Amino acid sequence: MNHLLRMHWPTRRTWGVIAGLALVLAGCIATNAMTATVAQPVTFVFTSDVHYGLNRGYFRGAANVEARVVNAAMVRKINTLPAVALPPDGGFRAGQPVGPIAFVIVTGDIANRQELYPIHIQSASVSWGQFEDGFIKTLTLTDAAGRPTPLLLVPGNHDVSNAIGSPSRLVPETDATALAEIFNRMIHPAVLRTKETYRYATDRIYFAKDFQGVHLVFLTMWPDSVARAWIEHDLQGLPEATPVLLFCHDQPDIEAKHLTNPNGKHDINGHDRFENLVADRCADGNMVDVDTLIEQRALVVFLKAHRNIVGYFHGNSNWNECYTWSGPDADIALNVFRADSPIKGKNSGKDETKLSFQVVTYDAEARILTARECRWNALGRADCDTTPVAWGASRSISLAPRVK
């Protein structure tokens, strides 16, 4: 099992090296903290499901456009944000310039699954190379101190399946490039992982960052029982009033197919179709189309014990939405933020003018966060690089501990 690390980033508190490896069942920890005297407003960009290796059906007058082309256009638009004015929507900092970007977050599916059928999708290695060239190296944003804006990453189901295998046929059968690269960049291990040495069971990507009075927690896939044990340990010593935001790939009402196979050898196979992406075995039935009520209820119990977890950000289902998750028994009220996909958007896939990412601003002392839909391809034309963004839906929430 890997050592638990706590690196140093801006926050009110500074942590040393964490002991107690036995408290964590699996995974790695890297929590970054730097001391700050007064919390300042923060703005970040949130997107997901960039799916390098896949093609978008239609984009700016062309058909069957590669993800690397579409994502490059999105990154160019993200780079223009500091000079853009926020909409007069009554939200936090309404009407003001966006200004410096503290960080950019992508919650997974960086590489599309390298499937053979119905068409052969390129390997995770090739897709990661395109992501590195067209996203990582192309971001030109800076934070309030003038430093390059960090890019924070967690994997999605396609990234994990490429590493561990899938019920569908993959070529190559496994390629852990994306997970190894994310692990190295986010966890900073003493020994860097390669696609050959990365091991999903022990190299889970869990890390946290304290930034201007808010605690940000990043998870592989979903807050399953292993991740919840990690979070429980991570939150020890954190003041109960400190706002916590969770970032992962899957929505709170996780799909059964992403759970571990409850049948037979509990393996990944074409008959059962379970993908074994999270640690918990499906407890609701032995088929992938069951409702995940037992797993969701376990998550609700955890969230009720940590009412300062006030926001949950995810991809996977691919449309822009800010909503309240009430759980399977309507006994919780969690603020949830769902991101669009530039390649597989449920709505933007049919209407490219709805392509979006979220621009999120918060102030820990004022106890407010506003998430805004930024439509970056609003005119759907080849000259959209030089035309203004459009603002869509927005939602403001309190950063005070949840009542429910």
* pLDDT of 35: 42
Q: Which of 8-12, 37-41, 92-96 has the lowest mean pLDDT?
A: 8-12
- 71 closest CA partner among 91, 102, 50, 44: 50
Which pLDDT score, from 0 to 100, does residue 149 have? 98
DSSP alpha helix (H) spans, 242-377: 293-305
- In 3D, which of 392, 362, 363 has the Cα closest to residue 375? 392
Q: Pick from 238, 402, 257: which is nearest to 327 by CA?
A: 402
List CB contacts of 137: < 8 A, sequence separation 6 or more.
none
pLDDT given for residue 233 in this prediction: 97
- Crossing angle for the helix pair 124-131 and 67-79, to the nearest 10 degrees: 30
Q: Cα–Cα distance between 398 and 396 in angstroms, integer?
A: 7
**Nearest Cα to Cα of residue 223 among 237, 236, 238, 208:** 208
Distance CA 286, CA 15 (A): 43
pLDDT higher at 219 or 19: 219
Mean pLDDT on 243-267: 98
Would you say residue 385 has pLDDT above 50?
yes
pLDDT at 37: 54
pTM strictly above 0.95: no
The amino acid present at 232, given as its one-letter code, is: E
Residue with tokens 């001391």: 35
What is the mean predicted confidence (pLDDT) over 98-104? 98
Instruction: List the strands of the sheet with 244-247, edge to edge.
Output: 31-32, 207-211, 214-218, 244-247, 309-314, 334-338, 321-325
pLDDT per residue as tens digits for the range 226-254? 999 999 999 999 999 999 999 999 999 99
Domains and CATH numbers, the chain: 39-92+105-201+242-254+292-361+374-398 (3.60.21)
Q: Are 64 and 240 in contact (CB under 8 A)?
A: no
pLDDT tens-digit series, residues 134-190:
999 999 999 999 999 999 999 999 999 999 999 999 999 999 999 999 999 999 999
SS3 335: strand
